[in-house]
Amino acid sequence: MTQMLTPWGTGRMMPYAATVAVPHFTPVIDAGTQIAAIVDGHGRTVELGGHGTSTSGLTPTATTPGDGSGPGGATDTDSHESYDQDRSSG
């Protein structure tokens, strides 16, 4: 007869902490404007606020000396990073 051992992790288990229900929100697209909106369980639009858009880009540049007919001279490389962020209300 073999004795069944209790898995070691079960002695460390505890009840889950108390939780709070999270409201149900649904993303929708307005058919006329094609703009996304978030609505709550009662169909009311919810303002999320504080979300904007931004763009970022890295533009490399390079120069080579001469007309390409022969070797010589140094090359130079550089880059410029641009970053634009919209001002969002909220």
Contact 45, 38 (CB under 8 A): yes
Among 86, 85, 63, 84, which Cα is nearest to 74's?
A: 63
The domain segmentation of the chain, as residue ranges, is 23-48
Question: CA-to-CA distance for 71 and 56, rounded, in angstroms?
Answer: 36
Query: CA–CA separation, 76 vs 66, rounded Å?
Result: 13
pLDDT of 90 strictly over 50: no
Tokens of 1: 């007869």
**Residue 58: φ, ψ to 5°:** -115, 120
Residues of the chain above pLDDT 70, percent: 58
26-43 tens-digit pLDDT:
999 988 888 888 898 888
pTM over 0.75: no
